[in-house]
Structure 1
Amino acid sequence: MVAHILKLKLLLLANGFKRSVGQLIGVIIGAVYALGMIVMLTIAAWFMASETAIDAELSIIVGSLVVLGWAVIPPLLTGVDLTLEPSRFVHFGIPQKVLGPALVLSGFISVPAILSIIGLIGGSLIWRHEPLAMPVAVLAAIATAVMAVLVCQYLTIMATALRAKRRFRELTFAVLFLLLICLGPIISSIASAANSLLDLIGPISNVLAYTPLGAAAALPGALAYGNYLQFSICLVLTVVYLGGLYWLVTRATAQATVTPPPEQRAAKQSGLGFFKYAPATPAGAVGARALTYWFKDPRYAIGVLMVPVLPLIFWFTGSQSGNYTMMYLLGPMIGILLGFSISADISYDNTAFALHVLTGVSGRADRAGRAMACFALSIIPVLAAAILPGAIAGQAWRIPGDLGFSLAALLIALGVASVASARYTYAVPLPGDNPMKTPPGNGLRVAATQLATIGVMALLLLPVMIPYLMGWFQESRGLGFLTLGIGLALGIGLLIGGIALGGKWYEKRAPELMQAVMLNK
């Protein structure tokens, strides 16, 4: 039975590459990139091999980061391999003593696991000058990879019930997305404090050496430098940690097959919500529904989360260089970002789009309602981002120009997105899925569509950008008011035109749109 389950996992892994040519190309490119990184790290480990204590500390830090990455990223984002999740075997009656070890072993049959093992073994070449430590380093690398996969499997099983709760998914997505966005400033801060951090590597590695994160990685260093007491302690801890994790995983697997996690429940709504305040018109109903999505669907969270993140990133960048010019572009960037968000509105609707088609909502009402919802949510952040930088800097002359450019960016983005979402759909994360999940096989199409949409927005902004830049360089309030006038006129005109054109395309393509979103393509 164990061999049968492992064969099933290999078959699923092989079939995953046959879904589409686009997905296969993407996997090949990703694998080549990952292998290239592993080769570079292996070469770096080869040339970094020396007889200094920093080798031992680096081995512990790298091994700990690998285990920590496996412990945090897959359980919170996507899980291990949900095709062989323990709860899927509830109805098969497989003995727990067989199923547990089989699923543990199947966890190592995956591209990330294989790449992790290869990368860690390549990193063990840092001990190539130590005849005794080198074989221990290879075994320690394998043990570290096993530790990482076991930790990931256990935490994934434990987090399955929590992932069924919408608030938990939204919170973890928000935290990880903010960390991802702020990764650049964090790395920059670490690099600027490198001298002081080098002094911390030793104490940190000494602590990690006795934890599940770095116990195995500490073995070659302890042996190479004759610290046999530490070697013995870390060896015992490694065996205990691996044995304990294996027992926890098999136990959790057995429990999951007996008591599968509860099914996800739809969110409850009390009262009319936004429908209470929206106009009693088709466009008002569509706008109220869209606003409900903005506040309750985590897939819309990317655009919303970027509103507070962008000022922090621009301020940090300015504090490093002493030039805060980018702060004056916050308004246009937030306007384009939020306006662009509705370009995938119909795709996000999924099966709910049938409600629009079956009730006969006109194209203009649908386009206007969605644009109205986004505008109501975006106008205050855009106004604040356009007014506050100039006011804080004491440059009141630039406020009219910033305001005109920002409002034009928002209105034009809404107009273009109203057309694009009626003409093009693409696969998106399904309702309830991880918002960062990328549906397979359509990466190139999504990138091309989004790039073309943003390019059209930028092109239509040129008539506003020219007087704006002239006013910026000449510090002219008059050119700023000219930018404001042109921006409002052009933005309102293109928004109305986008709603009209998008409405015509919507009515012409409603059956095709409904078929596309039902199939999520």
Structure 2
Amino acid sequence: MVATLVSLRWRLTLNALRSNVWALIGSIIGALYAIGALGGLIAAAVGLGAYAAPQDAAVLLGALGAALVIGWCLVPLLLTGADATLDPRAIAAWTAPSRPLARGLLAAGAAGIPGLVTAVACLLPALVWMVAGQFLAALLALLCAPAALAACVTISRIIVVSANLSSSRRGKEMTTIIAFIVVLIASLLPSLFNASLGAHGPEILESFRRAGQILALTPFGWAFLAPGMAATGKPLAALALAAGGWIIPLALLRPWERLVAAVMTRPAGHSGRTRAYASANPASGDRQSAGSVDALTWARRLGSLLPGLPAASAAIAARCLRYWRSDPRYLAQVVSIVFLPMVVVIVPIGIRGTVQVNGEPLTMSLAIGQAPAAMLLTVPLIALLMGWAVHDDLGFDSTALWSHISAGVPGRHDILGRVVAAAVWELPTLLVMGAGMLLWTGRWQDAPALLGGALALYGCSLGWSAMTCVLLPYETNAPGESPLNSRTSGMAIVVALIQMIGMLAILLVSAPATGPAIYAAFSDSTPWRWAAGVIGLLWGAGAAGLGIIMGGRLLDARGPAILATIRSWPGHSQER
């Protein structure tokens, strides 16, 4: 059973790679990256064994091992559904649940690329203690490595299969947003650590040492800490931790077997709230039934707020606004737009605290009205990201684009509705953040230039996005999927190129307006500041309008082709 399931897993993986060139290229790049990372880890293990004290090596290996197990616990939860290979539900029609099947699924889970890389990582403590001359500790590390790998895989599979039992859509959406924030923070930790280490080196290192000791002593680090206890002359503690490291995966076997039997025998069900929509004809005089929803409320509100807005654009904007407040893919963009610039600009400044100017220490204050002027950079950065947020809006819309094409909605009205939906919440947010940064820095005199430059960037970014969402739509997760789910088409390279070229193009196009804003900020000239504000406002509005017109024309010409492309993406077909 084990050999059959492992063979089936690799056969499915290789067949998927053969049918998709981009997936094959992405897998090759990922494999090369993994090999390079393992080479670096092996070199680090040799250096740790040769030069580190046994006490320090024991704490470090225990903490890193615990972090590895915790990673296997968290990543599947954050990326639920990313790897559905040999899911018990998928094979329920072909075999009955059994103990050999459950254990074979665990073995197949460990036989993938992540499992193989983890297996090598679990063997590194043996290399460390062998180089250090602690041969008994190295032997114990070899005995504990299978337990550590088994714990990683078993916990991961339990989480992956259990997470899909949840039927609350709102709960899944909230989990997705929290997961995205966690991933975003984790991606910024290395740079923040380097910045804090440079400012408060000894204190930071001591804090990390204490945290590492606590983490290593948790059940997640037992299998990795046991050899270190043997190396530091604590044989009884080493044996106890090694036994505990083996007990964890063995104790999880029975819950895993029960879970496999439960999901394979449980009937597929659907739970959720259904809502009826009120009559689309207000003149009909029909009363809205209890629990029903007026589908045109926001369309009428936008029509009243913007009298010149076409009815089709108002309806599309109303639907897109619902996406912005309920779709996890859009909510993830909102989080990154608001959160990322604040972390990139503000946190490093707050960590450093003191800088050197001509050899003299200069302490920076973060008090209201006294914050460094560099914090104003968050405003144009947020403006750029806000306009960029709709650059693949047609792809996010998926096959719902069919309703616009079949109804004969002009392309410019379609694109205008999407831009209006974004601007309804983005512009007020941008103005509030701009006012907040001006209050924090106390540089109110720079308000016209700052807002002018930010609006120029925002308008140019919106205009560029209005065109590229038609010219270069690329595969994205289907509606209802987590934004953290990995795609199998190898689109990461294409997305990176589109984003790099797009950002450079936006900066170049906005330069005639952002240039005067930068000059006004440094020239301390009031007329220049106001001139830069007016130029930025007009330039941004013109760029956004031109982008909407050109994007609309392109959509009129390419609408059916774009819809066919979207339908070819996995999970986007209407038959799903």
Normalised by the length of structure 1, the TM-score is 0.93
Residue identity in the other structure for 1:58: L
Q: Could you report, residue by residue, the CA deviation over 1:388-438 in whole angstroms, capped at 9, with x for unpaired residues?
A: 323333322200001111112222211121111122211101111120234
Which residue in the other structure is 1:286 paired with? 316
Residue identity in the other structure for 1:222: M
With over 3 angstroms needed to count, the CA separation of the structure-2 counterparts of 1:201 and 1:283, relative to structure 1, is closer
Between the aligned partners of 2:389 and 2:208, the Cα distance in structure 1 is 43
1:158 aligns with 2:162: yes
Between the aligned partners of 1:354 and 1:81, the Cα distance in structure 2 is 30
Between the aligned partners of 2:218 and 2:400, the Cα distance in structure 1 is 49
Contact 2:76 2:159 in 1 (8 A): no
Contact 2:54 2:228 in 1 (8 A): no
Q: CA deviation at 1:187?
A: 2.7
Which residue in the other structure is 1:301 paired with? 331
Residue identity in the other structure for 1:384: V
Contact 1:347 1:520 in 2 (8 A): no
Contact 1:209 1:234 in 2 (8 A): no
Between the aligned partners of 1:287 and 1:80, the Cα distance in structure 2 is 31
Range with greater deviation from structure 2 (348-357 or 21-30): 21-30
Q: CA deviation at 1:476?
A: 1.8
1:503 aligns with 2:552: yes
1:132 aligns with 2:136: yes
Q: Could you report, residue by residue, the CA deviation over 1:358-405 in whole angstroms, capped at 9, with x for unpaired residues?
A: 111001111111111111111111112333323333322200001111
1:319 aligns with 2:334: no
Residues 42-441 of structure 1: matches in 2 within 5 Å? 42-49=42-49, 50-79=52-81, 81-128=83-130, 129-162=133-166, 164-183=167-186, 184=188, 187-188=193-194, 191=197, 195-196=202-203, 199=206, 208=215, 211-259=218-266, 262-263=269-270, 270-272=293-295, 273-279=297-303, 281-309=311-339, 310-322=341-353, 324-439=372-487, 440-441=489-490
Which residue in the other structure is 2:35 paired with? 35
Contact 1:116 1:145 in 2 (8 A): yes
Between the aligned partners of 2:452 and 2:196, the Cα distance in structure 1 is 38
Contact 1:108 1:149 in 2 (8 A): yes
Q: CA deviation at 1:86?
A: 1.3
Between the aligned partners of 1:465 and 1:208, the Cα distance in structure 2 is 49
Runs of 4+ in structure 1 off by over 6 angstroms are none
Q: CA deviation at 1:197?
A: 5.6
Between the aligned partners of 1:328 and 1:214, the Cα distance in structure 2 is 44
Contact 1:104 1:250 in 2 (8 A): no
With over 3 angstroms needed to count, the CA separation of the structure-2 counterparts of 1:316 and 1:428, relative to structure 1, is same
Residue identity in the other structure for 1:302: A
Between the aligned partners of 1:260 and 1:7, the Cα distance in structure 2 is 28
3-state SS of paired residue (2:298):
helix
Q: Could you report, residue by residue, the CA deviation over 1:333-361 in whole angstroms, capped at 9, with x for unpaired residues?
A: 22221111111111111111100111110
Q: CA deviation at 1:11?
A: 0.8
Give the aligned length.
520
Q: CA deviation at 1:509?
A: 0.7
Unpaired runs of 5+ in structure 1?
none
Unpaired runs of 5+ in structure 2?
278-292, 304-309, 354-363, 365-371, 571-576
Q: CA deviation at 1:506?
A: 0.7
With over 3 angstroms needed to count, the CA separation of the structure-2 counterparts of 1:242 and 1:181, relative to structure 1, is closer
Contact 1:133 1:220 in 2 (8 A): yes
With over 3 angstroms needed to count, the CA separation of the structure-2 counterparts of 1:188 and 1:51, relative to structure 1, is closer
Contact 1:19 1:441 in 2 (8 A): no
With over 3 angstroms needed to count, the CA separation of the structure-2 counterparts of 1:232 and 1:445, relative to structure 1, is closer
Range with greater deviation from structure 2 (98-107 or 276-285): 276-285
Identity %: 26
Residue identity in the other structure for 1:444: I
With over 3 angstroms needed to count, the CA separation of the structure-2 counterparts of 1:206 and 1:296, relative to structure 1, is closer
1:476 aligns with 2:525: yes
With over 3 angstroms needed to count, the CA separation of the structure-2 counterparts of 1:203 and 1:331, relative to structure 1, is closer
3-state SS of paired residue (2:224):
coil
3-state SS of paired residue (2:392):
helix
Residue identity in the other structure for 1:281: A
Q: CA deviation at 1:207?
A: 5.1
Q: Could you report, residue by residue, the CA deviation over 1:73-108 in whole angstroms, capped at 9, with x for unpaired residues?
A: 122213573121112222224242232111111111
Which residue in the other structure is 2:15 paired with? 15
More helix by share: 1
Q: CA deviation at 1:212?
A: 3.0
Contact 2:144 2:242 in 1 (8 A): no
Between the aligned partners of 2:379 and 2:554, the Cα distance in structure 1 is 30
Contact 1:208 1:215 in 2 (8 A): no
Between the aligned partners of 2:182 and 2:105, the Cα distance in structure 1 is 31
Between the aligned partners of 1:158 and 1:371, the Cα distance in structure 2 is 39
Range with greater deviation from structure 2 (350-359 or 416-425): 416-425
Contact 1:67 1:147 in 2 (8 A): yes
3-state SS of paired residue (2:376):
helix
Between the aligned partners of 2:345 and 2:406, the Cα distance in structure 1 is 46
Which residue in the other structure is 2:287 paired with? none
Contact 1:104 1:150 in 2 (8 A): yes
1:516 aligns with 2:565: yes
Between the aligned partners of 1:263 and 1:83, the Cα distance in structure 2 is 23
Which residue in the other structure is 2:491 paired with? 442
Q: CA deviation at 1:66?
A: 0.6
Residue identity in the other structure for 2:61: S
Between the aligned partners of 1:331 and 1:198, the Cα distance in structure 2 is 34
Between the aligned partners of 1:221 and 1:2, the Cα distance in structure 2 is 33
Residue identity in the other structure for 2:345: F
Q: CA deviation at 1:137?
A: 1.1
3-state SS of paired residue (1:91):
coil
